[in-house]
């Protein structure tokens, strides 16, 4: 039954993605950048609702009241496609740091490009870092928050993985606060697997962290330790 429900989920997921992304590509360019976000992320809201209805994957949030009024950098652990979908509309307006090749994906990538993501070429690390910092400062100045996954790629729940300092460096350069996020979405919507497991994803939003005068390695380690502590509290 879980397999059938997961197949049904993906059929609707893919169909609605193509339809909505096509509308975004056709109509989105006519809207100013910040006004595109509410329209574009309606599909994200639908997916989070649909995975709950179809597969029994729901969520609970702690710390939602801590979200600042001014633009910030979100640093979140990365386990699942779920957080990528969810965080985009939770912290509206929000753009993401991502691999440039994602923008070449038909429909999805074309629509995503209209939200001004910070797309980097990982084969050119030095240029990618400089470009990321420059674009990050511009997005913050434009009133758009930024999502960064310090681990770089998705990992299995429970893995102790390296956190890269790029998100902290961007926050320092832009004079923006960091909002740490922890979740266990990989337990219920695992990456690269078909079957979804019914359950409740726990999402923790931490106190905003001031970045002025801080060392990026120290900041990154602080976020990592906080994330690990929240995940450990779920298991205990």
For residue range 105-145, list pLDDT tens digits in order. Answer: 988 999 999 999 999 877 677 777 888 899 999 999 999 99
Mean pLDDT within 159-177: 95
The label of the residue with tokens 């434009």 reads: 142
Per-residue pLDDT, 99: 87
Domains and CATH numbers, the chain: 2-235 (3.40.1130)
CB burial string 197-232: b at 16+ within 10 A, e below = eeeebbbbbbebbebeebebeebbebbbebbeebbe
Predicted TM-score (pTM) above 0.85? yes
Please say if the pLDDT value at position 21 is more than 70.
yes
Position 10 pLDDT exceeds 70: yes
* Confidence check: pLDDT of 23 > 90: yes
Tokens for 48, please give them: 């989070």
Starting at the edge strand that comes first in sequence, how are the strands of the sheet with 178-183 ordered? 57-62, 199-205, 178-183, 73-76, 145-148, 94-99, 118-120
């Amino acid at each position: 039954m879980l397999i059938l429900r997961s197949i049904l989920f993906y059929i609707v997921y893919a169909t609605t993605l193509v339809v909505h992304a096509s509308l975004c590509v056709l109509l989105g360019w006519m809207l100013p950048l910040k006004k595109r976000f509410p329209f574009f992320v309606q599909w994200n809201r639908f997916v989070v609702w649909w995975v709950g209805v179809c597969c029994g994957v729901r969520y609970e949030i702690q710390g939602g009241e801590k979200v600042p009024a001014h633009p910030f950098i979100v640093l979140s652990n990365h386990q699942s496609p779920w957080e990528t979908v969810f965080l985009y509309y939770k912290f509206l307006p929000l753009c993401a740091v991502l691999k440039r090749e994602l923008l070449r994906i038909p429909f999805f990538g074309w629509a995503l490009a209209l939200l001004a993501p910070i797309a980097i070429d990982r084969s050119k690390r030095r240029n990618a870092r400089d470009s990321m910092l420059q674009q990050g400062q511009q997005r913050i100045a434009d009133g758009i928050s930024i999502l960064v996954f310090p681990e770089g790629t998705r990992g299995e729940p429970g893995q102790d993985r390296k956190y890269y300092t790029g998100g902290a460096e961007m926050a320092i350069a832009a004079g923006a606060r960091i909002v740490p996020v922890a979740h266990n979405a990989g337990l219920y919507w695992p990456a690269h697997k078909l079957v979804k497991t019914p359950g409740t994803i726990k999402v923790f939003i931490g106190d905003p962290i001031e970045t002025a005068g801080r060392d990026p390695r120290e900041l990154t380690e602080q976020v990592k330790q906080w994330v690990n502590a929240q995940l450990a509290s779920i298991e205990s």
